[in-house]
Amino acid sequence: QQQVKQSPQSLIVQKGGISIINCAYENTAFDYFPWYQQFPGKGPALLIAIRPDVSEKKEGRFTISFNKSAKQFSLHIMDSQPGDSATYFCAASTDYKLSFGAGTTVTVRA
Amino acid sequence: DGGITQSPKYLFRKEGQNVTLSCEQNLNHDAMYWYRQDPGQGLRLIYYSQIVNDFQKGDIAEGYSVSREKKESFPLTVTSAQKNPTAFYLCASSIVSGSTEQFFGPGTRLTVL
């Protein structure tokens, strides 16, 4: 039973477009929300993370939007590039444990 | 060159055999973790360790065992009791246990023949 629900399962976007991935959670004890990027056959790497006292965080072309009252957060990839083609995981943490979403495979068409 | 190493990259085993996956880190991190990744399911926590000589079960510990005799090493044994062991196994570490960044190794793909 997944504590973090992620959608969509996959998406295709044209080069230069915007990719949006959504996540929702129930556990209000979560206090750290990272996004990881994973390429095939590799381990995930931290992309960007946010804490619940902030509603938005931007790093380059990647932005997290966080809605504490709705218990939802999302990743926006602006000006998507072919090199962004990967699987993206949202996660939420409380105490020691990271709970992951099921992942979204993003394909950027040139 | 700091980081997490996992070996081997690919591992094949016959049913009924135990197998040990290696994880080493030189980041001087206190906490280490083992995850299992299956298609469409994200990552699930098997075991974690906050300090040397101590570890706790995660969500799917049945059929697995670990040890933490040294700060930099956290090997995972997949026993014959694990009913469906074919998966991608990922080791991670963090400075302290808690809501901080976890750094992942490159993974070991285990296939049971």
Contacts of A103 in chain B (CB under 8 A): 40, 42
Helices (H) and strands (E) in chain B, counts: 0, 11
Within 10 Å of residue B35's Cβ, how many Cβ atoms? 28
Mean pLDDT score of chain A: 95
DSSP state of B58: -
Residue B98, pLDDT score: 66
Residue pair A98/B45 in contact by the 8 Å Cβ criterion = yes
Residue A97, pLDDT score: 82
Residue B1, pLDDT score: 55
Contacts of A34 in chain B (CB under 8 A): 101
Q: Give the pLDDT band (50/70/90) at residue B8.
A: very high
pLDDT digits (tens, 9 = 90+) for B32-58: 999 999 987 889 999 999 999 999 999
Determine the residue of chain B that is closest to A31 in CA distance: B99
Nearest neighbour of A49 by CB, restricted to B48, B97, B101: B101
Residue A1, pLDDT score: 64
Residue B113, pLDDT score: 87
DSSP state of B30: S
The whole-angstrom separation of Cα B101 and Cα B103 is 6
CA distance A108 to chain B (A): 20
| Helix/strand/coil for A82 | helix
Nearest neighbour of B48 by CB, restricted to A36, A46, A96: A96
pLDDT digits (tens, 9 = 90+) for A1-41: 679 999 999 999 999 999 999 999 999 999 999 999 999 99
pLDDT at B59 over 70: yes
Determine the residue of chain A that is closest to B105 in CA distance: A43
Q: Give the pLDDT band (50/70/90) at residue B89.
A: very high
User: Which residues is A62 bridged to in the sheet?
Assistant: A59, A77
Residue of A33, A98, A104 to mutate, testing the B interface (most B Cβ within 10 Å of its Cβ)? A98
Instruction: With CB atoms and an 8 Å threshold, state whether B90 touches A93.
Output: no
Instruction: With CB atoms and an 8 Å threshold, state whether A46 touches B105.
Output: no
Nearest neighbour of A95 by CB, restricted to B42, B98, B103: B98
pLDDT at A96 over 80: no
Residue A95, pLDDT score: 77
Token code pair at residue A87: 């699987």
B66 by Cβ neighbours in 10 Å (0-12 / 13-18 / 19+) ranks as: buried
Instruction: With CB atoms and an 8 Å threshold, state whether A101 touches B42.
Output: yes
Nearest neighbour of A96 by CB, restricted to B97, B106, B107: B97
Share of residues in chain A with pLDDT > 90 (%) = 92
Mean pLDDT score of chain B: 93
Mean pLDDT of A59-75: 97
Instruction: With CB atoms and an 8 Å threshold, state whether A100 touches B44.
Output: yes
A65 by Cβ neighbours in 10 Å (0-12 / 13-18 / 19+) ranks as: middle
Residue B40, pLDDT score: 77
